[in-house]
Amino acid sequence: MLSQLSPAIRQYLVVTGNYWAFTLTDGALRMLVVLHFYSLGYDALSIAMLFLFYEFFGVVTNLVGGWLGARIGLNKTMNIGLLLQVLALSMLLLPAEYLIVPWVMAAQALSGIAKDLNKMSAKSSIKLLVADAEQSTLYKWVAILTGSKNALKGVGFFIGGLLLALIGFWWAIFTMAALLSLIWLLSIKLLKRDLGKSKAKPKFRDMLSKSRAINLLSAARMCLFAARDVWFVVALPLFLASQFDWDHWQVGGFLALWVIGYGFVQSQAPHLTGKANNRTPDGKQAVLWALLLCGLPAAIALSIELNWQVGPMLIGGLLLFGAVFAINSSLHSYLIVSYAGRDGVSLDVGFYYMANAMGRLIGTVLSGWLYLHAGLEACLWVSSAFLVATVLISLALPKHHSALSSG
């Protein structure tokens, strides 16, 4: 059946399959670590800090990974990412008494490197599998890949909890490592060699983007993701557990469903931002959708400060925030692939996702610190400030309309 498809479609399916398999293990591993260390008596803030290196190394990996992908090919960086995730999982197969915090943080750091190598390779590959004239197809493929990734990460949360309940931590980790090893072997055989390899060997200094549009989009992306993670990563789970008296499974299940819904909306972004008026999105749409987000965290913060309908405002606001944020994220993901040059595409995409990882890192650190000292409402006000910065930066993005091509 695969032989009847075009080479580009076959490669897209291999890339997407790799990304999906990795994402399931990424989500499951996060939930396994959270639940396992929670059962050992760690509080939520301490557990969140286990992922600090995961986010930090995302910054470094995206920058260096883009350069590496341009030099050795995206097939190799994707396969290296899969192998590193297998190694990260294997690090957690030690007896429980050896799973001390520094060791788990090191495993999470390796997993963070693996995740960003895999993501950068997948997003960059799509640029090379779609003709420049087929912008509609490019937007659709990027949206499907991005949306499905987040939906599957939510599914991974459920799988992690289920495996922990059914077979325990060690066997859950072993099962994922074994299955991902098979995926890695298949990827080595099926993925096109030298995909994304630059014709001219890029120098190390070429990691920094020279494109004004990409620099602006990267800065907007950093502020956008800091605005989400400053209240979502640490503060929100703690608030739900302490103020709403939700148990561990309710918090994890709700956040998993939120991520799945978020991913579904991302996959529908082309229908909401492009095809209705037969245009691909540009800087103008980036400003509009970021502007729609600005007031939501502030409205939730006011309801908490005034103690007015806190439950409905928080849950309803979170759902609305997730939907609008998903459109913003998918739109940005299309714009970076569209802006990036075909030769050495991973350099531009890697630089952009470096900014994405930096935003997540800033948001994660601020989320714990602000919640500890000033509560969830402070996190929400800072979120709105980051979103205002996103709007202001996005005002300078290129504004042009290109008619959608068929496909």
- pLDDT at residue 293 is higher than 90: yes
| pLDDT given for residue 404 in this prediction | 37
| pLDDT given for residue 91 in this prediction | 95
CB atoms within 10 A of CB 182: 10
Question: With contact defined as beta carbons under 8 Å apart, do 222 and 356 qualify?
Answer: yes
67-71, 73-77, 185-189, 349-353: the lowest-pLDDT one: 67-71
Q: For 251-267, how does the pLDDT look when each residue is reduced to its tens digit (9 = 90+)?
A: 777 888 888 888 888 88
HSE of 8, CA atoms in CB hemisphere, 13 A:
9
- pLDDT at residue 401 is higher than 50: no
Average of per-residue pLDDT across 237-246:
83
Average of per-residue pLDDT across 94-112:
87
| pLDDT given for residue 206 in this prediction | 53
Report residue 13's pLDDT band, with 50, 70 and 90 as the boundaries. Answer: confident
140-149, 217-226, 340-349: the lowest-pLDDT one: 340-349
The full DSSP string for 164-231 is: HHHHHHHHHHHHHHHHHHHHHHHHHHHSPTTTT--SS---GGGGS---HHHHHHHHHHHHHHHHHHHH
Question: With contact defined as beta carbons under 8 Å apart, do 70 and 57 qualify?
Answer: no
CA distance 14 to 4: 15
Report residue 377's pLDDT band, with 50, 70 and 90 as the boundaries. Answer: very high
28-42, 176-190, 193-207, 221-235: the lowest-pLDDT one: 193-207
Q: Which of 317, 255, 320, 258 is nearest to 289 (CA)?
A: 320
Phi-psi map region of 344: left, alpha, beta (phi>0 left; psi -120 to 50 alpha)? left
- pLDDT at residue 170 is higher than 70: yes
| pLDDT given for residue 86 in this prediction | 96
Calculate Rg over the CA atoms of the chain.
20
Place of tokens 């990734």: 149
